[in-house]
């Protein structure tokens, strides 16, 4: 692996260790820095000699932005070791994000590290008089992130029942709940997103009002390499956020993804 650096070198302003698996890194955005327009946009984070990976923006405000990372494998383990004043390299921001209407009540539904872009949506709703609620599921209580805007109501579910509802987060999506909201923001494992969107549509919601943030293996982040392709759409430039009406025209969704080598495999 080359030690050449890609992107802009930025210093970590602050870190928050939420639990052994989740850590947030806060950066100054400053002059010549990063302008994020919508929650759901992502950056390519580069650690020279380790790798470069896509990570969503978990919050952005004037002068600073953050990313929230789940420790999963070699790259995120190295990222976790970084502390305040350490530097890393960032390219972006990339992609289209969520187009939330702040004057309408919104429901976020997150699974696992899919909470990161949903927190960014919640942060943009914070301070508005409209309600934003999150349904958030993880495998156990140690993989739950509890930090979000104070005014956001969160309902939790864990696969093992160690916190909140015992079962899948999708079980908590009821017709009564769906009828309280005008827009829906979903990010998590693809099967979970598929079940979520199908349920919400079944309760009479227009698929255009449901936005899903897709994840695929990414290399360039700029629409060149094709590794993130889903049914002819490149997630890095055409997404990662799509409304469900567009996704219904993507037969690979919920069925196939490409691995690191570019080979298509069943999900």
Ligand X SMILES: Cc1cc2nc3c(=O)[nH]c(=O)nc-3n(C[C@H](O)[C@H](O)[C@H](O)COP(=O)(O)OP(=O)(O)OC[C@H]3O[C@@H](n4cnc5c(N)ncnc54)[C@H](O)[C@@H]3O)c2cc1C
For ligand FES, the binding residues (CB under 6 A) are 218-221, 223-228, 234, 236
Q: Does 106 bind ligand X (CB under 6 A)?
A: no
Return the range that interacts with ligand X (CB under 6 A); candidates 4-12, 130-138, 174-182, 210-218.
210-218
- In the complex, which residue's CB is closest to ligand X? 73
Residues in 61-80 that interact with ligand X by CB under 6 A: 67-70, 72-76
Among 46, 53, 133, 233, binds ligand X (CB under 6 A): 53
Q: Are 101 and 182 in contact (CB under 8 A)?
A: yes
Q: Which is nearer to ligand FES, 63 or 226 (CB)?
A: 226
Q: Which is nearer to ligand X, 67 or 122 (CB)?
A: 67
Concatenated DSSP letters of 179-229: TT-SEEEEES-HHHHHHHHHHHHHTT--GGGEEEE-----SSSSSSS-TTE
Residues with Cβ < 8 Å from 241, sequence gap 6 or more? 38, 40, 95, 96, 97, 98, 99, 117, 211, 212, 213, 214
Calpha distance 126→147 (Å, rounded): 13
Calpha distance 54→51 (Å, rounded): 10
Q: Does 25 bind ligand X (CB under 6 A)?
A: no
Q: Which is nearer to ligand FES, 70 or 238 (CB)?
A: 238
Give the dihedral sign, CA 93/95/101/104: negative
Q: Which is nearer to ligand X, 56 or 123 (CB)?
A: 56
Q: Does 41 bind ligand X (CB under 6 A)?
A: no
Which partner, ligand X, ligand FES, none, binds residue 76 by CB below 5 to 8 Å per kind?
ligand X
Residues that bind ligand X (CB under 6 A): 42, 53-56, 67-70, 72-76, 113, 116, 215-218, 240
């Amino acid at each position: 692996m080359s030690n050449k650096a890609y992107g802009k070198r930025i210093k970590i302003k602050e870190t928050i260790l939420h639990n052994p698996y989740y850590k947030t890194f806060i950066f100054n955005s400053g002059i010549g820095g990063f302008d994020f327009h919508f929650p759901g946009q992502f950056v390519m984070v580069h650690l020279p000699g380790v790798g470069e990976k896509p990570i969503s923006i978990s919050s952005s405000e004037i002068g600073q932005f953050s990313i929230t990372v789940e420790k999963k494998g070699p790259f995120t383990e190295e990222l976790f070791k970084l502390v305040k004043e350490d530097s890393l390299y960032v390219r972006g921001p990339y992609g289209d994000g969520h187009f939330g209407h702040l004057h309408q009540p919104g429901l976020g539904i997150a699974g696992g590290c899919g909470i990161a872009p949903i927190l960014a949506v919640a942060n943009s709703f914070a301070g508005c008089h409209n309600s934003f609620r999150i349904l958030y599921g993880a495998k156990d209580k140690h993989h739950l992130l509890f930090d979000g805007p104070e005014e956001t109501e969160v309902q939790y579910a864990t696969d093992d029942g160690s916190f909140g509802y015992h079962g899948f987060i999708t079980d908590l999506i009821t017709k009564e709940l769906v009828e309280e909201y005008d827009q829906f923001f979903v990010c998590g494992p693809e099967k979970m997103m598929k079940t979520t969107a199908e349920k919400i549509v079944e309760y009479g919601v227009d698929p255009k009002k449901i936005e899903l943030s897709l994840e695929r293996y990414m290399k360039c982040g700029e629409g060149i390499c094709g590794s993130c392709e889903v049914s002819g759409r490149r997630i890095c430039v055409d997404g990662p956020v799509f409304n469900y009406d567009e996704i219904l025209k993507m037969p690979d969704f919920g069925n196939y993804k490409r691995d690191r080598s570019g080979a298509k495999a069943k999900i």
